[in-house]
């Protein structure tokens, strides 16, 4: 029984690793550090479908806030190691800033490429971007979970037969 629990846990871990890959359409996972008081790297270029994660690595409170209102992390406190993620599905250039430190030049941009020759838009243009919280639809997750749980149970059955 303990082995079954182990296998179920293993299946769940595998699911966590597989599901984002399945839903990402060749996107990448890119990390931008929030330092005192600048983004590193401030200007990045990623393929469509990429998820950008801002990770707080400083002592001051920071935000990542879209000029177009597409995302706003809210204040992330210094020393928290907190982070915020956003998935970019539509090509374009998305400019953002840190609310407490915009005046000190704490700004950045994410340029999203790809999507069949769509021209890259300047920041502030009306980008038809469906807001995405970085999670794949449950319609993908549930079958994947069922599949992997089944695989885990099957593996358990095979292993138990071998040990007998």
Which residues are near Cu ion by CB under 5 A?
37, 62, 98, 100-101, 106
Decide whether 24 or 106 has the Cβ nearer to Cu ion.
106
Decide whether 35 or 68 has the Cβ nearer to Cu ion.
35
Nearest residue to 96 (alpha-carbon basis) of 29, 34, 158: 34
Question: Which stretches of the chain are assigned E, i.e. beta strand?
Answer: 29-35, 38-40, 43-47, 50-56, 65-66, 83-88, 92-97, 107-113
Residue 37: asked if its preceding bond is cis (omega within 30°), the reply is yes
What is the SS3 assignment for 103?
A: helix
Decide whether 100 or 115 has the Cβ nearer to Cu ion.
100
Which residues is 54 bridged to in the sheet?
Answer: 32, 84
Smallest distance from the beta carbon of 69 to Cu ion, in angstroms? 18
Smallest distance from the beta carbon of 46 to Cu ion, in angstroms? 22
Smallest distance from the beta carbon of 148 to Cu ion, in angstroms? 40
Decide whether 27 or 61 has the Cβ nearer to Cu ion.
61
Smallest distance from the beta carbon of 76 to Cu ion, in angstroms? 9
């Amino acid at each position: 029984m303990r082995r079954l629990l182990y296998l179920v846990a293993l299946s769940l871990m595998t699911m966590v690793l597989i599901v984002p890959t399945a839903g990402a359409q060749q996107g990448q996972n890119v990390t931008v550090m929030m330092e005192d008081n600048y983004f590193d790297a401030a200007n990045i270029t990623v393929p469509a479908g990429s998820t950008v994660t801002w990770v707080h690595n400083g002592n001051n409170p920071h935000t990542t806030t879209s000029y177009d209102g597409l995302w706003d992390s809210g204040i992330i406190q210094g020393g928290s190691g907190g982070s915020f993620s956003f998935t970019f599905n539509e090509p374009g250039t998305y400019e953002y800033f840190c609310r407490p430190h915009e005046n000190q030049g704490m700004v950045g941009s994410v340029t999203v490429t790809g999507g069949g020759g769509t021209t890259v838009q300047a920041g502030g243009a009306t980008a038809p971007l469906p807001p995405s919280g970085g999670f794949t639809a449950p319609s993908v997750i549930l079958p994947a979970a069922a599949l992997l749980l089944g695989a885990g149970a099957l593996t358990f059955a095979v292993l138990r037969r071998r040990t007998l």
